[in-house]
Amino acid sequence: MSDASNNSDSDEQKDRVNKRSSTSGSATGPPNKTSKSWYQQPFNNNWLQEPELKDWIEADSKDKYIVRCKVCDCSLSNINKSSLLTYKMTQKHVKNFELKQQMTNIKTFFTTTKPPSLREQVAKAELLLVAFMAEHNIPFSQADHLVEVMKKMFPDSNVAKYIQMKRTKSSYVMQDGIAREEKEDITKICQNNKFSLIIDESTDISITQILAVVVRYYDEKKCQVVDVFLIVLRLKIQLQKDCIIR
């Protein structure tokens, strides 16, 4: 590491020769008591690679002869590497640095900085696709074609490239994934809240008697009464009209 600044700055540096006594806010005392003047050093970008400096210094946008301390939120003038290292050991800076680190530790409890992996992104896309098809009554058999079209539509997408979602997997993901999770959630709600059941019997195309069960309850998050579909039961006997299930 060298404290020398860029050569391109040398002319300007000569213009910025200062008397030590005439400056204020210096990071440290005079580097050498015998010298009466010295060259001001501009911010050196190499410092941002220095392990002892990179965490807390930044350049000043207006004055290149100033170093900003991010920890104490203050400006330092008359800087060079050794003066910065001396400043780093001051009581004020050490204390602020410790406080800042504690704050950062607390923050990590609330934020997850890790971006989702490709595998997670693909899984999310597959779930969204199946949920979309179910919500809009699109037959799962269409998944075979839809996924192929999407791969052609988004050739630059890694997620589209790895989506594998044909009709068999679609119905599996819906029945054993999304629907099972939903059913468990609704069951838990019913265990802890007052609710009513709405049932409707009908006959499907294979002449099977089916009974749709819908749960009505008060959703505390939405602050309103909601109806959610719970299950379809296959019936062995036909229910009497106006029969009440208790």
* Binding positions for Zn ion, rule: CB under 5 A: 69, 71-72, 93
71 or 125: CB nearest Zn ion: 71
Q: How far is the CB of 97 from Zn ion (least distance, A)?
A: 7
Q: How far is the CB of 57 from Zn ion (least distance, A)?
A: 9
Give the integer Cα–Cα distance in Å for 44 and 82: 13
Q: What are phi and psi of 167, to 5 degrees?
A: -60, -40
71 or 163: CB nearest Zn ion: 71
Tell me how many degrees the CA angle 12-81-4 measures, rounded to the nearest 5.
40
Q: How far is the CB of 60 from Zn ion (least distance, A)?
A: 14
Residue 242's region, left for phi above 0, alpha for psi from -120 to 50, else beta, is left
- C-alpha closest to that of 125 among 182, 181, 169: 169
Which residues have CB under 8 Å from 190's CB, separation 6+?
A: 215, 217
92 or 124: CB nearest Zn ion: 92
Q: How far is the CB of 96 from Zn ion (least distance, A)?
A: 6
57 or 130: CB nearest Zn ion: 57
